[in-house]
Structure 1
């Protein structure tokens, strides 16, 4: 007999089983705006433009990075999808956009329907948390391309904002306050350095129980990225005129991501003593003997999102964020500068970065 697709490495029946297993979770993210069911050639989403004078669509795409290595090692796949959604919806949120819908791409060497369903369940949970509909995706079985048990993920989000309410950073002024929202640990950035420090250099085990951590080391690192959509959008409803800049703290940490939204001749001065940093960052730093500056430009260091606000509404904005379940900290202030950049106060010493 001649070869068939399954013997070559691609199991169409496994793909069908995966779709059936994930169908309920995907459809749980759908509202009346979604006009198609799972399995179509394209996702259909009916826009309600009644609330917008000049609607602008905002798009973002990202992956999860080498955090996936931990999911493979621990064989735990039910939360990594939350990370995938968070990385894109938090990005478009930084421009004031409300997420509308999300699409995912999952590629693997050998399709395992139950594992695929776990991954998509996490994606669906992330979509529900950000009020986005999961309207489509692609599961690609690529025999011989990935190692056994491994896969890669990518995600794509589309949101909407009225043109007059786009957050660009152009309105940031001297004297504005920098408000940091607490992260849930590493989120999805810096894992190459974290793994090198913890497992290669210090020789920790993934199941290791370290004093000060709620979970074993592997589970602590796998904590999903916080999704800030509902809390920040709620705050923007009443205070968008006072919120002049938003930065999602991802790769590059506080240093690189705040700089991205600063107008010229302004600098951000932040004080690393002004917020609570989770124990995991200290463990990584000590394991790898990493200096403070390298930590701040690699990890979020306990701050996952930054709002730059007018000081006149500080009390109200902080109160609203707390009411929405956030832990906000005033971590710094915007000041004049000959160019633009960052001033980081670490242990009382200021380090300037242009």
Structure 2
């Protein structure tokens, strides 16, 4: 109830536009509809989204993952490239749960901003929907939060949440990895969504312009190339080769040096050979313009390898062929060796 001399304030006066939020939901619904799959019982628009675990799973174990896009968003703001970061958001979570053998089932997103731009948000969510299509999972819900005063105009933050399922007997945990196994590397699509604090510093140091050419493309296109989603190709390899795939590592923050050890037992190490794959032009440019040491490159960036797969030596050719048929660029980048006391678990030689 208002008093005689008081103004009648609205939520819009406080900086929150309910109509814009409703308009965004209307824009999102057809995008989400393209991602629907078996199991979705209730999606966008409800208080909660319902999903039934497919009955083909006998002993389903749910696997969940959450992540963001990191400071790659700063370049999205500066360069006005909002249509690819949504793919990054999905990729970072679905690739993470994939390494345990899980099939991504559904995805939820969180989009927070100070003032909601329906066009910008719809562009971001369009990328999220595209990422879900690539991963074969459903975009069944999320949250859009307009919070005046929390974010500068034109900026936003993203978080994503993926849930998948794997048969209990088929969980991949790396425990069967043994000395002599082969390490396969699947090519990345670029820097993915990691190391961007250093990447942005190098861009500034080099006075780089988004329109300058790198590797036959504009720098903005190379840098903002979305994270590759490996779900469908790796799931095909798992279906074809089963237990031959002993371990999977998603090469994210920490690069090759910190992520591969996460799937190795204490007495083992991965010996990787730098001449086994071509360092992409982007990473050569970053190293040269930033004067970055090799060890730092391998610990910060994926350096051209976005997913690592460990297989027995006698089955490496077959697994590699299946992955190549699925469109992956595969390199045999190293082998598993016995680890000496106090030696690192991953070395690049």
Equivalent position of 1:208 in the other structure: 212
Partners of 1:282 and 1:39 in 2: how far apart?
Answer: 46
Q: Is the 8 A contact 2:261 2:346 kept in 1?
A: no
2:17 is the alignment partner of 1:11: yes
What pairs with 1:1-354 in structure 2 (closer than 5 Å)? 1-49=7-55, 51-199=56-204, 201-210=205-214, 213-339=215-341, 341-345=344-348, 350=349
| SS of 1:260 mapped into structure 2 | helix
Partners of 1:144 and 1:138 in 2: how far apart?
Answer: 18
Q: Is the 8 A contact 1:97 1:166 kept in 2?
A: yes
TM-score between the two structures when normalised by the length of structure 1: 0.94
Partners of 2:152 and 2:177 in 1: how far apart?
Answer: 47
5+ unaligned residues in a row in structure 2: which ranges?
A: 1-6
Partners of 2:38 and 2:291 in 1: how far apart?
Answer: 53
Partners of 2:159 and 2:256 in 1: how far apart?
Answer: 24
CA RMSD of superposed structures (Å): 1.1
Q: Is the 8 A contact 2:37 2:138 kept in 1?
A: yes
Once the two structures are TM-superposed, the CA of residue 277 in structure 1 deviates from its matched residue by 1.8
Q: Is the 8 A contact 1:272 1:344 kept in 2?
A: no
Once the two structures are TM-superposed, the CA of residue 37 in structure 1 deviates from its matched residue by 4.0
| SS of 1:42 mapped into structure 2 | coil
Q: What's the CA shift string for 1:160-219, capped at 9, x where partnerless?
A: 0011110101111000000000000100000000110121x1111222224xx2321122
Partners of 1:214 and 1:56 in 2: how far apart?
Answer: 45
Cα separation, partners in 2 of 1:343 and 1:98, compared to 1, 3 Å = closer
Cα separation, partners in 2 of 1:53 and 1:46, compared to 1, 3 Å = closer
Once the two structures are TM-superposed, the CA of residue 35 in structure 1 deviates from its matched residue by 1.4
Partners of 2:58 and 2:34 in 1: how far apart?
Answer: 30
| SS of 2:179 mapped into structure 1 | coil
| SS of 2:275 mapped into structure 1 | coil
Q: How many residues align?
A: 342
Q: What's the CA shift string for 1:262-297, capped at 9, x where partnerless?
A: 001111100111012210001111111111110000
Partners of 1:47 and 1:202 in 2: how far apart?
Answer: 50
Partners of 1:276 and 1:231 in 2: how far apart?
Answer: 21
Partners of 1:261 and 1:233 in 2: how far apart?
Answer: 18
Partners of 2:59 and 2:188 in 1: how far apart?
Answer: 33
Equivalent position of 2:3 in the other structure: none
Q: What's the CA shift string for 1:222-256, capped at 9, x where partnerless?
A: 00000000000000012121111100000000010
| SS of 1:114 mapped into structure 2 | helix
Once the two structures are TM-superposed, the CA of residue 343 in structure 1 deviates from its matched residue by 4.7
| SS of 2:174 mapped into structure 1 | coil
Partners of 1:290 and 1:31 in 2: how far apart?
Answer: 45
Once the two structures are TM-superposed, the CA of residue 53 in structure 1 deviates from its matched residue by 2.8
Runs of at least 4 residues off by over 6 Å: none
Partners of 2:57 and 2:31 in 1: how far apart?
Answer: 30
Once the two structures are TM-superposed, the CA of residue 32 in structure 1 deviates from its matched residue by 3.9
